Structures are given as structure tokens and as C-alpha cells.
Amino acid sequence: MATLHDIGVAAAINILSAFAFLVAFAVLRLQPFNDRVYFPKWYLKGIRSNPTRSGTLGKFVNLDYKSYLRFLEWMPDALKMPEPELIDHAGLDSAVFLRIYLLGLKIFVPITFLAFAVLVPVNWTNDTLESESSKSSKLEYSNVDKLSISNIPQSSNKFWAHLMMAYIFTFWTCYVLLKEYEIIASMRLHFLASEKRRPDQFTVLVRNVPPDPDESIGELVEHFFLVNHPDHYLTHQAVYDANKLAKMVEKKKNMENWLDFYQLKYERNSSKRPICKTGFLGLCGKKVDAIDYYTSEIERLCKEEIEERDRIRKDSKLIMPVAFVSFRTRWGAAVCAQTQQTRNPTIWLTEWSPEPRDVYWQNLAIPFVHLTVRRLTIAVALFFLIFFFMIPIAFVQSLANIEGIEKVVPFLKPLIEQSFIKSFIQGFLPGIALKIFLILLPTILMLMSKFEGFVALSILERSAATKYYLFLLVNVFLGSIVAGTAFQQLNTFIHQSVTEFPKIIGIAIPMKATFFITYVMVDGWAGVAGEILRLKPLIIYHLKNFFLVKTEKDREEAMDPGSIEFASSEPQIQLYFLLGLVYAVVTPFLLPFILVFFGLAYLVFRHQIINVYNQEYESAAAFWPAVHVRIVTALVISQVILFGLLGTKKAANSTPFLIALPILTIWFHLFCTSRYEPAFKKYPLQEAMMKDTLERTKESNLDLKGYLLDAYIHPVFKEVEDHDDVYPVGDIENENILVPTKRSSRRNTPVPSKYNGSSPPSLADVKEQLL
Amino acid sequence: MATLHDIGVAAAINILSAFAFLVAFAVLRLQPFNDRVYFPKWYLKGIRSNPTRSGTLGKFVNLDYKSYLRFLEWMPDALKMPEPELIDHAGLDSAVFLRIYLLGLKIFVPITFLAFAVLVPVNWTNDTLESESSKSSKLEYSNVDKLSISNIPQSSNKFWAHLMMAYIFTFWTCYVLLKEYEIIASMRLHFLASEKRRPDQFTVLVRNVPPDPDESIGELVEHFFLVNHPDHYLTHQAVYDANKLAKMVEKKKNMENWLDFYQLKYERNSSKRPICKTGFLGLCGKKVDAIDYYTSEIERLCKEEIEERDRIRKDSKLIMPVAFVSFRTRWGAAVCAQTQQTRNPTIWLTEWSPEPRDVYWQNLAIPFVHLTVRRLTIAVALFFLIFFFMIPIAFVQSLANIEGIEKVVPFLKPLIEQSFIKSFIQGFLPGIALKIFLILLPTILMLMSKFEGFVALSILERSAATKYYLFLLVNVFLGSIVAGTAFQQLNTFIHQSVTEFPKIIGIAIPMKATFFITYVMVDGWAGVAGEILRLKPLIIYHLKNFFLVKTEKDREEAMDPGSIEFASSEPQIQLYFLLGLVYAVVTPFLLPFILVFFGLAYLVFRHQIINVYNQEYESAAAFWPAVHVRIVTALVISQVILFGLLGTKKAANSTPFLIALPILTIWFHLFCTSRYEPAFKKYPLQEAMMKDTLERTKESNLDLKGYLLDAYIHPVFKEVEDHDDVYPVGDIENENILVPTKRSSRRNTPVPSKYNGSSPPSLADVKEQLL
């Protein structure tokens, strides 16, 4: 077991590497030629433009030595922006994501103080480990263990202190969670209420429109909603199966990139026309003149694209049984989204439409019956992925040994047989399969979620996050505690009695504290510090900049601001919550490490969100219920483990009092769910009515139909819309049904706020205007 | 273990007792003076009146000997009425309740044939039990066991037959369940669609109206819905806290009964004024003249009642924060019931209003926050009730012994000490506490459900049924298989590993077959035959008839038609489903007994529903999802048990194929839920709109406000409304806002059907009228 000294060394190493990352970042971010890597958000907002400094060198390298002295100044900068401005700047999703780290601090700062004030002295003032190790020389222990619950003698009355602390920690966590849920629910509602007009406020996604022999889907939708929502229906937007077209556009873009690359190459060295191969990845096939080849290919694709667009416009089979139906009022949309339309609950399914940029177009055509089959498939697949993922990896590992390689590529044999390379391959290969798998895992999980058929990116991310959380919980947390692969554990657990589960984990938990401390430092501290450096985007940006960029617009496209990547980062935070809550009572020594993680990560991600990330969509913190339920799960897991641990310690008179704790916690969760979750799932009619009334008063001559007309068209059509009208738009001529009135009663309308959403005037104002 | 002979004897006894009940019923039902006990439904419908036959004796006893010869004629009679007429006669709830028995027949008739054709020969053609019993003389077996899976040797390949049958039985059950769910969902939707106009179609129950300092609850409700549902809101009905008044009315009625009783007594023997005591239950207190006493008491209560009514009208504190809000259209009500009204999901809670007679008035005022606490309390209480109910009973049993009784009532000592009485008490007392508990159990569970705060009788019954089902599952099914009390079992199970559970039960299951056969005969056959005799209502009716009845109206009230009592009878049926599915593969010999039960029960209950029961409310088969999920649960339990059983039989090569079965079954359930459950939970807008349109066309001059005005008043107010107007009715004067038009476009309106609901004309008719 690691001693305090070992941990100190590990901490020093990790602090140094984190520090190195920070210093590297501090230097790199000051260089003008990296400006677009470290401040893309500002470029995208149009506030920042290319730095212009004197001298050729000054364009690329920052020569102002003073700025290097203040290399940590980004930290206070990151904290400066107040939260409302942050919401305006980066959206509510990002602001609430940061609050997860803050929540970690809120929960664990008091717990740490209390644990060090009460539990550490209680644990320290025993000599169980000393006396036991003197009895049997085999038992080793470290000073860390002396601070932990292991140092309390069997059936001691001191366990009452741990029991009490478990209650206090639980109540504190629940209290903070409750407050946070309340704050975030109200933030979300305020955000939604103060938002500007957005198409999704008026729009409902209708899925599984039943086929009709007499009417086209467009007519059917129109008639259905004119009959069943006569006072509210406004218009609808059909959805076309443009997946093939989207692929073509993608391919053309890729070709254009290559064309740019070769043209640039030719410009720099005009003596020789660039040559390329037409086969797989440019590795094989016959050689051709690259510029001519790509020019002709692009021309061909352009023609095909136009044909495809034409086909989509004419072929009614490519209209999917899905539509975005818009209503005259938010009230009408809120009603339609929350109600069932027909007897048969599998057709005319209505739900709130996601934001236009949040829509995942490919999944819109999946029929309802497929969905249940797909979910079952993925559930089974996920189970096998979590519990048996080691099997294929072990298989690949068994293949990827020296002999295997020699068999496949015999001509490499002399090279491989050299002892240095041989030992390198032997040491390196077995690990690499696992590493590749772990790197690919979030992508695999996202593909699984996509297969399940969710229709919005935000839902996809949330679903992938849940899967990743389960994977981490089983394979990192339980897997580290109980030795062996997850499959072996499963086998062990099945053959143990129910009450043995928590006991097995309970016994192992205190022994694994030092391992998890190291884990927090490596994965948490250094990982977070690495995040700020953005090594991968940095390299890719410079490669693109060198090979592809010709115009300012190209440079714009070469920027990759990235986003938070909720699907992989949130589950990782949850692991720290779990560790913190589990070890709070058992080994409080772990808590400060968790605190440092939360503090550092908060700083880093706040900086990144302000300066770098550009969210693809805005879900108005729709992920919070998932975050909440996972912290509650961590709480229950920690209680069950403590129960098992105390059971092995024969603390018979205190243990039974722990039973109430999980019951109360689960009940707390149910209470929170019924109280706050509707704010994330439903859209209250009162709010809708209020916004409608306001809008009618403020903008009585609004052309809503025109506003909504092309809000929900496939992005492939949107891109070309500017220059040619190949997109099949239906009834623009109907637009001028709405006659704009010239009423000039805008006296009381408040000045639009400078933020994203105009703050709503008070109800009194509205009443005054109405009278 | 019981042999075939033992079972034959038991069957003979039970068949005889069931036959005796049926003969007694056949004789009693023909007596005119029992007519109101056995045919109350027809009296309530006003179709049947008191039998008038010649002679004094003929009024009471049926002298027509021919009618006795056809004493089983009720059976074909019960089957004669076609289902649509039955729905019209007794409501959809009753008709669908009968379909549960039919479902039992549908599932088990083919299963029985198949099991007897395949499994019985497979089991019979082995001699495992014979050879084993010859080895060890201790092992006893019967012919029943020779037919069961116990007779198959260890790790035989014959288990493939059982495995295959398990799959076939599961698929058949699921298929029948699916079809049944589909039929019942469409029956429900058709029933709702073809129903006459009913107040609950237009009405939404609003709970937790927030307090407002400026406005009364009535004003608040009106303003809120006028603002948020401006085009649809019609009127609302406040709810008064009339629980005290209801108690007074109840008390007065009781007093009036006693007055009637003494007056009748006095009339028959006018020589002496009847005397009664005023104290507890008329056992102690001072003696008074009974007629004078009750007359004055009733007068006093009348005055108090008037005061209370006055107080309710004036005291705004007695208006509860609850209201029944009615809308102009069914569409408006459907929208309001399915949507969230405000930001805060704990106020302005809207849900479909139950039928007026289905409302459970006492629970209407429970605040939302209390509900979660109450549910938690009841969940914990239910757990203790199920697993520890033996503890208080054992305590009572320990008190209720001879010595205990002698201590409490020493003067009875000489009597008790007599040997006959002593042995009787000793044999009788220990059982009686348990028996009383079991008789009281449904009442206790109903009280628990009431405490949980459900607002409709139908929901209360469903909730109590769930609780009773859990109790039966744990204490009757598992309790009979694993010896010992439920608490001991729980302890056993907790200390066993997970995979041991099904094994323990799997081993015990075949051995308990004969016990369950006897159980089916006693509880099922004889119990159902006893049901038709209606012994308790028979006795009570004749007592009331003798002591209280003076007028025809009194006789009407003395009738107690009763109802199905879903809360206790449905869980009992479920037990038979469970037994049938579990033993289908293990001991097919049990199946015919189950079949007889389902057949007999179907006959008996069909007769009772046609002639006797009078449902208190109509929920349109809202209970079906619960029935469905319990049969699916039984299916999964049977699969898990079979898995455990085959595990002990070392059928290693066939057992793993069973794993897919529960997964597929659960997935089947999820599919059914998503497909059919919405029909029981939601009210589709299309249906609402169709009915609205129809009604507008057919009855354009309908005074809906007048129709809905007093639909939802507390029954206490309703009773007196006829003779005096003490009920606080608000705005009758507003009624004449609706001006009846004189349009005479009723040419196409169909003739109202003679059934309960007028069948809707086809849409073509409506269109024709609209044009």
C-alpha cells in the first residue's frame, strides 16, 4: 500500500505536469498565430479579428516580454464575467454545465472541513492497525490508512461518529442538490421566458404520419391539423429524405479541399503539376493530374447534386412521414406537443420540436415499431459492452503478438526480430488495443444512441452520457475495487448472497483509497490541465492553415472551436462525485484531492467556455435531471457501501440506523422529480399565453408565417438557398394573407435588452396596453 | 404426499359442497320473498317489481313445483345476454371484468391440451421416482408426481420438451394477452366515443389552487382559466369541506332507522312503550322512552344540520383549494387535463375529473406536499404489513388463551373450565385472530389507499388491489412453497445468493402441486359457488325487512346489490393465473382444476353481474393495464422458477436457452404498454373534436352551462336539493346567456339508440349537415 510519501511523490509529479501544461498554454496563447485556436469563440462572434502587429515576425510571435510575466492572468479573467453575461455569451447549457463543478465545490468544501474536524481525529486516535500489524507481520498499513475508518477497532462505539457524519453529509448533499435544482429550474424557465422569438417555440414535430391512399403527406398533415387544431394551426414544413444529397455535398466539399491543396501546392512550386492516385486513400490506382482530376470530379458531382435535388423535389416517395407543424401561438404549440392526437398512440406522435440546429435529420424517418426493437437491441448490446468488452480486446491482443505479425507480414520479420523493437512491440501492443477502445468508446456509445433513433443532438448526447456513466461506474469504479474483469465480477456477484455485495465492496473500499487518490491526480488534475492546452486542435489548425487556407473564409473554416462534449465529460465528473461521497466517511484524506479537481476544472472550463467552445445547439439545461439523478445514485451507492463496511466491522448497534438513509434519499429524489422535473419536460400554458399576449401587443403586424416558412429545412438545402432556389418551397404566395396593420400603440414597449433574450415587461405593462 | 385417491376424495367433497351451494341457491332464488336479494339489479333498473301471486303463502314461497325441476336454468340464462347488451346493462367495467375469466379460459384451454398431449407422456414414461424410492424407502411419491417433471431423470435430454413447451406457452399467453389488450382498448375507446354526454367529459379537476390575498378561490379559478384558456373555459364548481355535514347526515339517517325500528315495535305491541338506553351501543346509560328520545335527537340534528349548511355557505375557509372546471368543448377539457398550467408544477394541477359518483370527496383537500410523505409512509407500512403481519397476530394469539381470558373476566372461570368448552376455545382461538385479520385485510388495504390521497373510488380500488396482490403473492404463493412465515422467508432469501432464489422455489414447486390442487378446489370451486348464494346479504335483507321496512321505499333501501369488489376479487383471480402458468410445465395435472375454476367463476359472475351487482361507478375498464401487468408478472415468475428447477435438474445444455424468455416477455410488456396504455390514460384530441362537432351539429341549442351547473356538488347537498335550496349555488342567472336557436336542420340526426350511449352517426352524415 502506498504511504503518505508515495502519494506526495505522485502529487508532485502530477502537479508539475499540470503546471507544465499551464505554462505551455500561457506561452502559446499569447502567440498571435495561435489566436484562432485559443480564442475562436470571439472570432465566431465577430468581435475579434486577426491580430495586426508591426513586423512580419510580430504577426506570428508575441515579442512583448511583459505579457509573459502575467502568464496566469487568464485565471482571474475567466472568473470575471458575471453569470448573466456568460449565459448571454455562451448559452444556458454552458453556464449550467459550469455549475456542476460549482456544485461539487458546494457539496465537498463543508464536507471536507467537517470530515477533517471530526472523523480524522476519531480515526487517528486508535491503534488498531498498529496492534494488528504487530500481531501478524503480513499486514502492512500506511499513514493514510491510519486516517481512515480501518483504524477503528471492531464493534467500537466510535462508529456512531461515522453514522452521524453519514447522516449529516447526506442531508447536506440533498440540501445543496435541492437548492441547485430549484435555481436551475428557475434559470431555465427565465431563460425560456426571456428568449427572443424562436421557431421552435411555435413548432411541434409530428412523427409517424399514417399513409393515406388519397392524399399526399403534406395535404394529410394540413387537413389533420386544420380539423383538430382549427384555431391554432398555421403552417407545416415537410421533411425530405436528403441523406443521399447530404453525402454528396459532403463528398464535394472534401474534393474541393483536395483541389485547394493541390492548387496551393502548384502555386508554390509551379514547375511541376501535382500528381495523385485515384484509388483507395490516394495510395493505389492510376496516376493522374491532380488539379484536372479534382476539377472534373467536382463538376460531375455538381451535376449529380442538381439531379438529386431535382429528384427530391419531384419524387413523393422521398417525403418522409414526418413534419414540423407550426402554430399561430405558443399556446397552440404547447397544447399540441403535450396531448395525444388520435386513438392510436403510435401515429401522429407529437413532441416539442428541437431547435433547428439541434435536429438530427437522419433519424426522422424511423417508424415507431422499429423504435422498440432498436431500444431492446441497444439495451442488450450495452449490457454485453459493459460486462464483456474485455473479450474482443483480449482476442485482438492475442492476435497482435510478434508471431501473429510475422505471419501476416513475413517480410518484416528481420526488422521485428531485433531485440529492441521486439521488446517495444511486446510491451506496447497489448495495451494499445485497450487504449484505442477507450478512446473510441464515446464514439461507439454515440453511434449506439444514434441507432436508437433519437431525433435531436441534445437527446443523443444525454443518452450517450448515460451509457458512458454506466460503463465508468461498472468498469472504473467497481472494476478497480473488485479485482478482475467486469465479467468475472458479475460471476462473483451472482454467486454471492445479496447482503454479501456491499460487504465485499465495503471491505475493499478503504484499501483502494490511495489508488483513487492517484487516479484523481492523473485523470483529474493533469487531464484538466491538458484540456486547456488544446493540443489536437492546435496541430490540426496549423496543418490546415498551411495546406488548405487561401482566403479569410477558409481560415474561418479551419478553426475548430469544439464544444463541451457533454456525452463524455459529464460522466467523468460524476465519477468524482461518486468517489467523494463514498470516501467522505471512509477515508476523508481523499477529499482535498477532489476539491482541487473541482476548483481547477471550474477555472479551466470557464475559460474555455468563454474563449473557445462554440455550442452546436442550446437545450436550455435540459440535461440537469440526469445530472441530479446520478449524484443521488452516487449518494445511495455510498450509503450501501458504508452499510456493508460497518457490517463487517460488527458495529451491530449502529448499523441498523443506516437503513433509513437510502430510503430517505430515494424518497428525496422522487420528491425533487415531481417538484422540478416538469420544468425540464413540459411547457406551461400560462407562460406560453403570457408570451403570446406580450408579442401580440408589441408586434401586432408580425408576419409569423414568413418567419417560420423555412426555419425547419434540411441544412443541405439551407446552404444553397442563398444563390439558387432548388429547394422545394411550397406556398410562398400564401404569405400575404396576413395584412400588416399600422397600429402605433408601442408607447409602452420596453427597449429591447442588449442580451440575447429581450427581458419581458411586467404584466402590469401588458395590462395597461391591453386596456 | 397426497395420492390420486386423496385428491379424488377432496375433489368429491368440494364438488359436493359446491353442488350443495348451487342447489340451495336454485331453491332460494325461486322464492318470491328472496326476489330482491337475487335480482336487485332489475329492481334498480325499474324493470322488475314485487312479485304478485295469489294467496298469502304464494307471496313468500314458490309453490310451482315445475320451476324446481329446472333449477340449473340460470346457467344458460347467464350466457344468453350478448356482450354489447351486457355492457349496456351493467357497464363496461363489469363486462371487462368477466373477460378476465374468459382470458383465463383462452390461455389455459390450449395449454392444457398441449401439456396433456406432450408433457404428460414425456413425464410418465420414466421410472426415476420408482427407482429412487426403491433405493431409499423414505422417498414417497404419488401418481400425481409421476405425471410431473420430478419423474424425469437428472440431465435428461427430455428437458428439451419442457423448454420447448415453456416457449410455446409463453408465446401463446403473450399472443392472447396482446389480442385481449387490443380488444379491450378498442372497447374502451368505442365505449367512451359512443357514450351519451356526461359531465366528466367536459370537466377537469383542478387541485392545489394557490392562496391569493386579494381574491377568493372561486374568483381566482375563474380569472386563471379565463386568461389561460380564454376560448374554452365555461364555468367551475367550487368544492366545500362538507365532511362534518356528511357525518351529521349519516348520523341522522342512523337515528331515523332506530326510530323506525321502535315505532314498528310499538305498533306491533302497543301495550308498552319501547325503552332504550342512551349510552354506548345502547348497552349502558339511563333508560328513556325510545320513540321520544329519537324524535327529539333527530330534531336537534336537523337544526344542527341547517346551521352547518349555513356555515358552509358563509365561511370562505370551508372552500377547499380545489375546483371542478368545466369547458365549452371536450377538446378544451382534453387540452387542459393533459397540459401543465404554470411554471410551478405543484400548483394548479389538472387531471381528468372522475365521474361525479366516482369522486372520493374526503381526499380532495390534501395538499401536494403531503402526498409524497403519505405515499412514502404507506409504502413502508405495506412492506411491514406484508412481511411482518404475523407478529401482531402471534401477540394477540398469545394473549387470547384460556389463562388470559380467565384473568380478564374471572366470573366466567367456572364456565370455561368445563372440558368441552375449554378444548373448543383452545382449538378455536389461535386461528380466529388470523381469520379475522384475513377478513379485515381488504378493508385495511383500502384504508391505506385512502390515506394515500387518491381522489376517485376507482383509483382507490385499483391501488388496494395492487396491495392485496402483493400480499397474496408473498404470503399465499411464496408462503405456501417455502415453509415458515414471510419474515423467516425474507431472512432466508437475504442470506442466500441471487441464483439460489429460483432454485429453492424450483425444488419445492413440484412437491406443492397437490396442496395447490386442494387450494384451488376449496378457495376456487366452493368459494365461487358460495358467492352465488349471497348468504350475508340474504340474512341482512331479511333482518332489515323484518325490523325496519315500512314503505316500499324502505324496502328499496334494504336491498344491498353489492358490487364486484375489484380490490379483493381481481388479485384472487391473479393467483390462479400464477398457479396455472407456473404449473403448466411442471405439473400439468393441476391445469384442469384451474380450468374448472375459470369456467365456473365465469358463469357465476356473469349471472351475478346481470342479476345482482350494481356498480358504484364506471371507469371504462381503466383497470385493464393493471390486470395485464400482473399476468405478465406471473409469466416472468413462472419462467424464473422453471429456470431454477431445471438448474437443479442439471439440464445444463437446455437451461441457458431459457434466459431469453424473461427478457422477451418484459420487452413484450413494454411494447404493449407503449402501444395500448395511452388508451387508458389519455383522451385523444381527434376523438374529442369529433364528438364536439357532432354535438354542435345535432344539438346546436344545447344549454351546456345549465347541464354542468350542479353536476359536481357534494352528494350531501344533492340529496336535499330537491326540497330546499340550502346548497350554495352561484350564478344561475347567467344561464340564459346561451340563446337557443330555432334551426330545424335535424333531418339527418339519427334516432337515439335504445342503449346507454347513442351510437354516433357516420362522419359523412356530419359533413352533409355541415354543408
Q: Whole-number mean pLDDT of chain B?
A: 78
Residue of B nearest to A667 (CA): B376
Strand partners, A277: A287
Range ranked top by mean pLDDT from A68-72, A304-308, A355-359, B447-451 = B447-451
- Smallest Cβ distance to B496: which of A227, A497, A671? A497
Stretch A387-416: mean pLDDT: 70
Query: Is 60 exceeded by the pLDDT of residue A597?
Result: yes
Query: Which residues does B513 contact at the CB level (< 8 Å), separation at least 6?
Result: B144, B145, B148, B583, B586, B587, B589, B590
Say if strands B203-207 and B349-352 run parallel, antiparallel, or are unpaired: antiparallel
Strand (E) positions, A256-414? 275-277, 287-289, 319-327, 349-352
- Taking the C-alpha atoms of residue B359 and residue B585, their distance in angstroms, rounded to an integer, is 45
Counting one residue from A and one from B, how many pairs have CB atoms under 8 Å apart? 119
Query: In Å, what is the CA distance from A26 to each residue of A22, A78, A304, A577?
Result: 6, 13, 49, 30
State the pLDDT at residue B342.
86
Please report which confidence band the pLDDT of residue A503 belongs to, taking 50, 70 and 90 as the band edges.
confident
Which segments within A179-270 are labelled E, that is strand? 203-207, 233-240
Beta bridge partners of A275: A289
pLDDT digits (tens, 9 = 90+) for B403-415: 666 666 677 777 7
Structure confidence at residue B576 as a pLDDT band (50, 70, 90): very high
Residue with cell 352465488: B532
Least confident of A379-393, B340-354, B554-568: B554-568
Q: Taking CA atoms, what residue in A is nearest to B377?
A: A667
Q: Does the pLDDT of residue B729 top 80, yes or no?
A: no
pLDDT band (50, 70, 90) for residue A284: low
pLDDT band at A453 (very low <50, low <70, confident <90, very high): confident
Q: Residue A372 is nearest to which of B335, B671, B685, comparing CB atoms?
A: B671
User: pLDDT value at position B101?
Assistant: 94
% of chain A exceeding 90 in pLDDT: 15
What pLDDT is recorded for position A340?
86
Residue partners of B435: CB distance under 8 A and separation at least 6: none
Confidence of residue A3 (pLDDT cuts 50, 70, 90): low
- Per the model's pLDDT, the better-predicted residue between B91 and B416 turns out to be B91
A692 vs chain B: nearest CA distance in angstroms?
A: 11
Residue contact A671–B372, C-beta within 8 A: yes
| pLDDT(B526) > 60 | yes
Q: Is the ipTM of this complex over 0.95?
A: no
For residue A219, which phi and psi values (nearest 5 degrees)? -65, -45
Distance spanning both ends of chain B, measured CA to CA: 78
Residue with cell 344458460: B76
What pTM, to 2 d.p., does this model score? Answer: 0.79
pLDDT digits (tens, 9 = 90+) for A104-147: 999 999 999 999 998 888 888 777 766 766 665 545 556 667 77
Q: Measured at the alpha carbon of residue A359, what is the angle toward residues A357 and A361, in degrees to the nearest 5? A: 120
Q: To the nearest 5 percent, what fractions of chain B are helix, strand and coil?
A: 70, 5, 25
* Residue A665 scores a pLDDT above 80: yes
Q: Residue B106: which pLDDT band, with cuts at 50, 70 and 90? A: very high
Per-residue model confidence as pLDDT tens digits over B594-642: 999 999 999 889 988 888 888 888 888 889 999 999 999 999 999 988 8
**How confident is the model at residue B179, as a pLDDT?**
94
User: pLDDT value at position A740?
Assistant: 39
User: Residues B531-563, buried b or exposed e (16+ Cβ, 10 A)?
Assistant: bbbbeebbeebeebbeebbeeeeebeebbbbbb
> Which residue does chain B place closest to A185, by CA atoms?
B343
% of chain B at pLDDT higher than 90: 15
Lowest mean pLDDT, pick from A201-205, A479-483, B380-384: A479-483
Lowest mean pLDDT across A53-62, A257-266, B343-352: A53-62
Instruction: Say what the pLDDT of residue B262 is.
Output: 79
Write the DSSP symbol of residue B729.
-
Of residues A408 and A636, more confidently modeled: A636
Using the beta-carbon criterion (under 8 Å), do B497 and A499 form an inter-chain contact? no
Amino acid at position A456, single letter: A
Nearest partner of B601 among B96, B98, B92, B19, judged by Cα: B98
CB contact under 8 A, A343 and B227: no
Query: Which residues in chain A have Cβ-Cβ distances shorter than 8 Å to B228?
Result: 685-686, 689
Q: Which residues pair with B206 in a beta bridge?
A: B323, B350
In the predicted model, what is the mean pLDDT of chain A?
A: 78
Among the listed residues B327, B673, B201, B338, the one whose alpha carbon sits nearest the alpha carbon of residue A340? B338
In angstroms, the CA B620 to CA B95 distance is 10
**Predicted confidence (pLDDT) per residue in B477-502, tens digit:** 887 777 555 556 666 666 665 566 77
Dist CA A642 CA B277 (whole Å): 64
Question: Using an 8 Å Cβ cutoff, are B207 and B321 in contact?
Answer: yes
Nearest CB partner across the interface for A675, out of B346, B380, B496: B346
pLDDT for A758 beyond 60? no
Q: Tell me the pLDDT band of B281, cut-offs 50, 70 and 90.
A: low
Is it the case that residue B571 has pLDDT exceeding 80? yes
Residue B581: per-residue pLDDT: 94
Q: What is the end-to-end Cα distance of chain A in Å, rounded?
A: 78
**pLDDT for the residue B715:** 76
Contact A647, A506 (CB under 8 A): yes
Helical H segments across A453-499, by residue range: 457-471, 479-481, 486-494
Shortest alpha-carbon distance between residue A690 and chain B (Å):
9
Cα distance between residue A531 and residue A525, in whole Å: 10
Q: Which of A596-605, B251-260, B369-378 has the lowest mean pLDDT?
A: B251-260
Taking CB atoms and an 8 Å cutoff, what residues of chain A touch B686? 227-228, 341-343, 348
Across residues A732-750, what is the average pLDDT?
38
**Quick one: average pLDDT of A53-70?**
61
pLDDT at B635: 94
* Interface contact flag, A228 B671, Cβ < 8 Å: no
Cα dihedral sign, A283-A288-A292-A293 = negative
Chain A: closest CA distance from residue B337 (Å): 9
pLDDT, tens digit, for every residue of B656-674?
Answer: 778 888 989 998 998 898 8
B314 near B197, Cβ under 8 Å? no
Among chain A residues, the shortest Cα distance to B490 is held by A498
Residue B403 half-sphere exposure toward CB, CA atoms < 13 A? 2
pLDDT tens sequence across B175-196:
999 999 999 998 988 888 777 7
Indicate yes or no: CB of B342 within 8 angstroms of CB of A671: no
Instruction: Using CA atoms of A185, A191, A192, A195 in order, give the dihedral in degrees to the nearest 10.
Output: 180
Look at A509-518, B17-26, B688-697, B757-766 and tell me which has the smallest mean pLDDT.
B757-766
Residue range B358-374: average pLDDT?
81
Q: Which of A338, A674, A679 shows the shortest C-beta gap to B343?
A: A679
Nearest CA in chain B to A681: B340
Cell of A289: 493530374
User: How confident is the model over B136-160, as pLDDT tens digits?
Assistant: 554 556 666 777 777 777 777 788 8
* Chain B contact residues (CB < 8 Å to A): 189, 227-229, 231, 334-335, 338-343, 345-346, 372, 376, 380, 493-500, 663, 667, 670-671, 674-679, 682-687, 689
Output the pLDDT for position A90: 85
Residue given cell 372461570 in the structure block = B413
- The full set of domain ranges for chain B reads 4-194+372-676
How near does any CA of chain B get to the CA of A373, in Å?
9
Q: Nine-digit cell at A497?
A: 448472497
Distance from CA of B49 to the nearest CA of A (A): 42
Main-chain phi, psi angles of B723, to 5 degrees? -100, -30
Widest Cα–Cα separation across chain B: 96
CB contact under 8 A, A342 and B227: no
Residue of A nearest to B189 (CA): A343
How far is A77 from A29, CA to CA, in rounded Å? 14
DSSP state of B754: S
Q: Which candidate in A344, A492, A672, A690 is best for mutational testing of the B interface (most B CBs within 10 A)?
A: A344
Contacting residues of B for A342, CB less than 8 Å apart: 684-687
Classify B175 as helix, strand or coil. helix
Q: Which residues pair with B456 in a beta bridge?
A: B359
To test the contact with chain B by mutation, choose from A325, A685, A696, A763 the residue with the greatest count of B C-beta atoms within 10 A, namely A685
**Minimal C-alpha gap between B331 and chain A (Å):** 9
